[in-house]
A = this chain, B = another copy of it.
Amino acid sequence: MTVTIGRLTLASPLILGTGGARRLDDIEAAVVASGASVATVAIRRYQPGASSVYDVLARHHVTPLPNTAGAHSAHEAIVLAELAREALGVDWVKLEVVIDDRTLLPDPLELVRATEALSTRGFDVLAYTNDDPATARLVERAGAVAVMPLASPIGSGLGIQNPRNLEAIVADAGVPVVVDAGIGAPSDAALALELGADAVLVASAIMRAEDPAVMARAIALAVEAGALARRAGRIPAQPLAVASSPVEGLPNVSL
């Protein structure tokens, strides 16, 4: 159940976010429990060394996906992305350009600008965006290899606030769609996949759970469930009751 995004290959439809972790041990435990092969790291806080998050990821053969957390403009995001390329030797970046530090919502204008610039510079840009289908389209046109609409604000755990928007983004997108931000529980993650997302990125819901490792495992199972359900073809949701039991044991199939 691998997912390919530009030059990145995910072993499963889950990208692990390391933001919000209380302890390095929690990150390590979550890495193991989630089975994720890609994890984001905030390049702004880059600090290599034996007991860093980079070391943990390397030890478990997890590919680092640097993010530009902290950037408030295209310019700042570009600087951070170049720094990441230099430091980590990777050509991919999770692009975040927020409008302020309170809401942490993406700034659509700076986002599109940065996506264009970084794509031109040879980056695979995975762009964190709002859940507006028009903005997602502009980000894709600007060269993003993945659009990453939020489910709800970062760290809110509110789940998918506007499922219709997510469905519209999926219907339109020519690149993978990764739901990012706002996932609070396995049900949210499963729903994202059921609605057609290719993957989810989960940070706070795992790292801030009481037991990050157990939640990492729970989310990993949920995304697998959601992806399988998409393949299995779910029943339509419909207002009226449809008899299930009365059909049991129909003579012709000798149930």
Contact = CB atoms under 8 A, between A and B. Distances in A.
A201 to B, nearest CB: 10
Contacts of A250: 45
Interface stretch (A85-93, A118-126, A234-242): A234-242
B190 A222 contact: yes
A175 interface: no
A211 B231 contact: yes
Contacts of A52: 249, 254-255
Contacts of A158: 164, 237-239
Interface string A114-145: 00000000000000001111110110000000
Given A211-B232, A232-B215, A17 B244 contact: yes
A205 interface: yes
B245 A103 contact: no
Given A51-B254, A185-B194, A254-B49, A42 B245 contact: yes
Interface in A177-226: 184-188, 190-191, 194, 203-205, 207-212, 214-215, 217-219, 221-222, 224-226
A230 to B, nearest CB: 9
A23 interface: yes
A3 interface: no
A186 B132 contact: no
List of 9 A-B pairs having minimum Cβ-Cβ separation, nearest first: A45-B249, A210-B233, A155-B242, A69-B245, A19-B244, A218-B228, A215-B232, A153-B241, A214-B232
